[in-house]
């Protein structure tokens, strides 16, 4: 399959999407400090190119699954961002009606299968989504995301083996942001080239520079094509960086401010903006209009969430089972 063109329209979409995701997460961070959003909050700031590049390689019906850094993926796939913000607030208008929260976003309509809170637990699920597509004869591909910490779980290794054994249409995407919470990659194994874990399973694997959506797209398109044509899985180690702490409570003593600043110089949004400016894809006025649209959409999300209701106490019993009359034990 020939690569898709990365046109002016793509760059402008990348810019607007990534800027929106960044501002959405910044707003979520501020709302967390105001205690409007509770629980744990893991932000995507700095990693946006990994999503933007991948989305351009996906076709309708392709699926995505990831861990708990998962607010913006369903938005990128088409979910209404107001419902994601409402879920962060725990409101009944949220994507999971306030049952999932920050770590458990889902959008079946847009083929986003979560949003999973146990490190590595989603990896076999991603292979299972792909297994079902292959079983049904659907030509869809699943992008199964995980962090660098997850590759040290048994779930990763068992799934790698089974996905190769059954030649499943899945792309395993490791977002290597350098740290599993506060533990750097070099403190978790005797070598730092995570992609090499694919070699033992004879799975095609490669490291990918992850701060530019174009490099991500190129690698992803090849992997997606391989999966769709029946040639099985690929393991991509996408080297990225998160600007924020692991979660909001992270004081980040394990890294220096200089290290964060170094990565911020190659910020994915700046890279895309520079390309737009160099190629004259948009005027400064048009870019300013994008900024305005993003700002106002973020505000809309917050207003929507603020004005929504919390679920009612009796909703606790809804959707635990698909059986509607399940006889729960009620203490009396």
Partner 1 sequence: MSRIIQFRQAVAEAMSEEMRRDENVYLMGEEVAEYNGAYKASKGMLDEFGPKRVIDTPISELGFSGIGVGSAMNGLRPIIEYMTFNFSLVSIDQIISNAAKMHQMSGGQLTVPIVFRGPTGSAGQLGATHSQSFESWFANTPGLKVAVASTPYNVKGLLKTAIRDNDPVLIMESEQMYGDKGEVPEEEYLIPLGQAHIDREGTDVTIVSFGKILKVVHAAAEELAKDGISCEVIDLLTVRPIDYATILSSVKKTNRMIVVEEAWPLGSIATELTYVVQREAFDFLDAPVRRITTADTPMAYAPTLVEAFLPSINQVIDAVKGVMYR
Residue ranges binding partner 1 (CB under 8 A):
63, 65, 94-100, 104, 106-109, 113-118, 121, 123-133, 135-136, 154-155, 158-159, 161-162, 165, 318-323, 326-328, 332
> Closer CB to partner 1, residue 13 or residue 152?
152
Shortest Å, Cβ 234 to partner 1: 18
C-alpha–C-alpha distance, residues 154 and 160, integer Å: 10
Distance CA 104, CA 77 (A): 16
* Contact call for residues 116 and 67 (beta carbons, < 8 A): yes
54 versus 155: smaller Cβ distance to partner 1: 155
Task: State the nearest-atom distance from the C-beta of 56 to partner 1, in Å.
Answer: 23
Could you tell me the smallest distance in angstroms from the CB atom of residue 225 to partner 1? 21
Q: What are phi and psi of 206, to 5 degrees?
A: -160, 155
Helix H segments across 137-209?
A: 154-165
Q: What is d(CA 74, CA 70) in angstroms, rounded to the nearest whole number?
A: 8
Look up residue 99 and give its two tokens. 């049952």
Report the residue number, 64 or 294, with the smaller CB distance to partner 1. Answer: 64
DSSP string, 46-114: T-HHHHHHHHHH--TT-EEE--S--SHHHHHHT--HHHHHHHHHT-TTSTTTTSS-TT---BGGGTB--
CB of 88 to partner 1, least distance (A): 14
Q: Which is nearer to partner 1, 45 or 102 (CB)?
A: 102
- The DSSP symbol for 115 reads -
Residue whose CB is less far from partner 1, 109 or 292: 109
CA nearest neighbour of 186 among 159, 222, 148? 148
Comparing CB distances to partner 1, the nearer of 132 and 260 is 132
Q: Residue for token digits 């290290």? A: 259
CB of 104 to partner 1, least distance (A): 4
> Which of 126, 199, 113 lies closest to 159, judged by CA?
126
Two structure tokens written together for 281: 């894809």
Closer CB to partner 1, 129 or 143, in the complex: 129
Q: At 31, phi and psi to the nearest 5?
A: -70, -30
Q: How far is the CB of 263 from partner 1 (least distance, A)?
A: 32
Which C-beta is closer to partner 1: that of 46 or that of 94? 94
In whole angstroms, the minimum distance from the beta carbon of 270 to partner 1 comes to 35
Distance CA 223, CA 169 (A): 10
Nearest distance from C-beta of residue 52 to partner 1, angstroms = 25
How many Å apart are CA 81 and CA 74, to the nearest integer? Answer: 8
């Amino acid at each position: 399959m020939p690569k898709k063109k990365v046109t002016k329209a793509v760059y402008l979409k990348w810019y607007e999407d990534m800027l929106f995701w960044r501002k959405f997460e910044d707003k979520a961070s501020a709302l967390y400090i105001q205690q409007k959003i509770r629980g744990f909050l893991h932000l995507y700031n700095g990693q946006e190119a990994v999503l933007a590049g991948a989305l351009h390689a996906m076709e309708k019906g392709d699926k995505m699954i990831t861990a708990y850094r998962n607010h913006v993926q369903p938005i990128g796939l088409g979910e209404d961002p107001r419902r994601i913000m409402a879920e962060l607030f725990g409101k009944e208008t949220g994507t999971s009606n306030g049952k999932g929260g920050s770590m458990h976003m889902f959008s079946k309509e847009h083929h986003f299968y979560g949003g999973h809170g146990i490190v590595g637990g989603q990896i076999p699920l991603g292979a299972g989504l792909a297994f079902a597509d292959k079983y049904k004869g659907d030509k869809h591909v699943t992008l199964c995301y995980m962090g660098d910490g997850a590759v040290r779980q048994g779930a990763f290794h068992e799934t790698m083996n089974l996905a190769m054994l059954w030649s499943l249409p899945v792309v395993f995407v490791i977002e290597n942001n350098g740290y599993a919470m506060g533990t750097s990659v070099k403190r978790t194994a005797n070598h730092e080239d995570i992609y090499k874990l694919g070699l033992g399973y004879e799975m095609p694997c490669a490291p990918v520079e992850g701060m530019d959506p174009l490099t991500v797209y190129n690698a992803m398109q090849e992997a997606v094509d391989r999966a769709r044509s029946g040639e099985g899985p690929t393991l991509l180690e996408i080297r990225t960086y998160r600007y924020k702490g692991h979660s909001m409570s992270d004081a980040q003593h394990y890294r220096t401010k200089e290290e964060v600043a170094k990565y911020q110089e190659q910020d994915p949004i700046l890279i895309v903006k520079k390309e737009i400016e160099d190629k004259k894809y948009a005027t400064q006025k048009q870019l300013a209009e994008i900024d305005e649209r993003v700002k106002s959409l973020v505000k809309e999300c917050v207003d929507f969430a603020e004005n929504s209701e919390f679920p009612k106490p009796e909703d606790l019993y809804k959707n635990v089972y698909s059986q509607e009359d399940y006889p729960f034990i009620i203490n009396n």
